[in-house]
Amino acid sequence: MNIKTILTLILFIIPLNVYGNFLKLNTPAKQVILYDHELKKVLFEKNSNDFMKPASMAKIMTAYIVFDRLQEGSLNLDDTFVVSKNAWQKGGSRTFLKLNSEVTISDLLRGLIVQSGNDAAIVLAEGIAGSEEDFAIQMNQYANSLEMKNTHFTNSTGWPHEDLKTTAYDLIILTEALINNFPKLYKLFVEKEFTFNNIRQPNRNPLLIGRYKVPGADGLKTGHTNESGYGLIGSVVRKNRRITLVINGLNSMKQRGKESKRLIELAFRETYTLRVFQNNEVLSTANVWLGDKSKINLMAEKPLKVLVNRSSLRMIKTTILWNDPVKAPIKTGQKVGVINIKIPGTDTLELNLVSKDNVNELGPIDKIKSAINYLIFGGDIN
């Protein structure tokens, strides 16, 4: 029996087990992370595990908790909470809620998400937990359950506090969980404006509206304090591929919008997901020894997804190897060889090569005839 080596392909790919930045770039931001949701890969990071102040990006956890209560049924969008003096008099960005008024969860969520209203965040916190302090305890419980190991919340708004802290990496964890766990409610983040109390306010996310608008953007949240600088969590979907950006520590709204757009566009332009061995396509055929079929079709055991990085192209060689002929009986999905993907400077990727067909073993007399035929004439053995 001989070893067959076929299917030599030149592909421009990088294996999934390569760690580090796929994108090589500079950015003025203090903390950055770009994340591919499908492959669960960090495309680029800068100081993503350094402590930072989230500012209003902390409101994503407030939204997460409200979403969770809505999904489990303990809250409904039509339920109302009363606007306390504590919420009404809070400074910063506001929904302009009226003191002692009753506001629906639906309106409070839009005030929180679209307008970044501190008053809306506090009303939600007090309505759920009784006080903002007790709500912060719940925020940290949720953070712990999500394994946001470097995060500590002190309030529902992201208002400056010496103990408030998170990391860009932890905010990616939170964002991915929110998108995955609450797909219907997540659509609130794409709303471009909200009018309450006859006051219309646009969404503050520069990726959604204005000169820095990005096609496919559907969330999430901006943040700014003097201590943290200007930050943003933005998520974009194109052709079923989602990339999320967390950026912080910029000097102005203009710089935040411009840099966020630049990094998102770079991520989509310079990286993409290459899918190979899809749909059980036939890669080659093999001869069969002593079976009721003379040949079998060969395919990869499973599809492979790899991340392309155009700034780090590598020419690689893909080969298929098996012992030919393959002895019957053969079951569909049975391993008959291997697929090797050789990447210069890295370990070789290996996938199982399997049969796409089922082949029964010949009976004793037919085995003899087939063996004699192969020995005399070679080639096909049936």
Which residues are designated catalytic? Answer: 56, 59, 116
* Distance in angstroms (rounded) separating the CA atoms of residues 121 and 143: 17
Residue 222's contacts (CB-CB under 8 Å, 6 or more residues apart) are 56, 57, 116, 204, 205, 206, 230, 231, 232, 256
* Distance in angstroms (rounded) separating the CA atoms of residues 89 and 97: 10
* Distance in angstroms (rounded) separating the CA atoms of residues 116 and 143: 21
Q: Take residue 112 and report the two structure tokens written for it.
A: 């929180």
3-state DSSP of the chain: CEEEEEEEEEEECECCCCCCCCCCCCCCCCEEEEEECCCCEEEEEECCCCCECCHHHHHHHHHHHHHHHHHHCCCCCCCEEECCHHHHCCCCCCCCCCCCCEEEHHHHHHHHHCCCCHHHHHHHHHHHHCCHHHHHHHHHHHHHHCCCCCCECCCCCCCCCCCCEECHHHHHHHHHHHHHHCCCHHHHHHCCEEEECCEEEECCCCCCCCCCCCCCEEEEEEEEECCCEEEEEEEEEECCEEEEEEEEEECCHHHHHHHHHHHHHHHHHHEEEEEECCCCCCCEEEEEECECCCEEEEEECCCEEEEEEHHHCCEEEEEEEEEECEECCECCCCEEEEEEEECCCCCCEEEEEEECCCECECCHHHHHHHHHHHHHHCCCCC
CA 305 to chain centre: 14
Contact 171, 54 (CB under 8 A): yes
